[in-house]
């Protein structure tokens, strides 16, 4: 019996985005394609990976920065006697900054990758160790697929990936 490799269960038809895509377009793309993340490919080369959690993380960073800046001015450090800003005013400013951002501003650069010939044990170990939902799969530095935790779980659920006899 031959052992399954990453290439045997990965998703080969991968939807990708370019790094210059605007974040609002990315959000629409992820919703339309029913994805939570996708590889970022420029000129045929994998340059990153981006997920909805990367967008949320950037929103949190922007909001925290903006709130800190607002607090700085409100506390009179700058000599400003203005009333504190409302959360909606801060949110509007943060939203405007996010709208101007591109995928390259929020993506994970140089993501962990797996070789197509890697064992499923190695792949599962990498997903667990790095707490990832998906990993780009490469062959000779070319993106050939994505392996997700759901790919592994799906194989267990349909009975094609079973526990080895002891």
User: Which residues lie across from 145 on neighbouring strands?
Assistant: 137
Q: Which candidate, 52, 6, 2, 21, places its Cα nearest to that of 146?
A: 6
Predicted confidence (pLDDT) per residue in 29-51, tens digit: 999 999 999 999 999 899 999 99
Question: What are 102-128's pLDDT values in tens digits?
Answer: 999 999 998 999 999 999 999 999 999
Name the more confident of 162 and 114. Answer: 114
Helix (H, G, I), strand (E, B) or coil at 108: strand
Q: Whole-prediction pTM value?
A: 0.75
- Rounded CA-CA distance 86/24 in Å is 24
> What pLDDT sits at residue 4?
85
143 half-sphere exposure, CB direction, 13 A CA radius: 26
Which of 55, 134, 153 minimizes the C-alpha distance to 126? Answer: 134
Give the 3-state secondary structure of residue 74: helix
């Amino acid at each position: 019996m031959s052992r399954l490799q990453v290439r045997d269960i990965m998703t080969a038809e991968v939807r990708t985005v370019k790094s210059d895509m605007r974040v609002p377009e990315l959000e629409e793309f992820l919703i339309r394609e029913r994805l939570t993340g996708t590889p970022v490919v420029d000129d045929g080369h994998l340059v990153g990976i981006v997920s909805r959690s990367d967008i949320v993380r950037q929103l949190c960073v922007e909001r925290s920065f903006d709130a800190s800046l607002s607090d700085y001015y409100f506390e009179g450090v700058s000599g400003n006697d203005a009333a504190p800003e409302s959360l909606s005013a801060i949110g509007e400013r943060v939203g405007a900054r996010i709208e101007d951002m591109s995928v390259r501003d929020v993506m994970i650069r140089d993501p962990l990758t797996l070789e197509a010939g890697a064992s499923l044990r190695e792949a599962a170990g990498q997903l667990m160790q790095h707490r990832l939902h998906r990993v780009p799969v490469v062959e000779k530095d070319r993106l050939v697929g994505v392996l997700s935790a759901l790919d592994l779980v799906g194989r267990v659920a349909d009975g094609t990936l079973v526990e080895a006899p002891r």
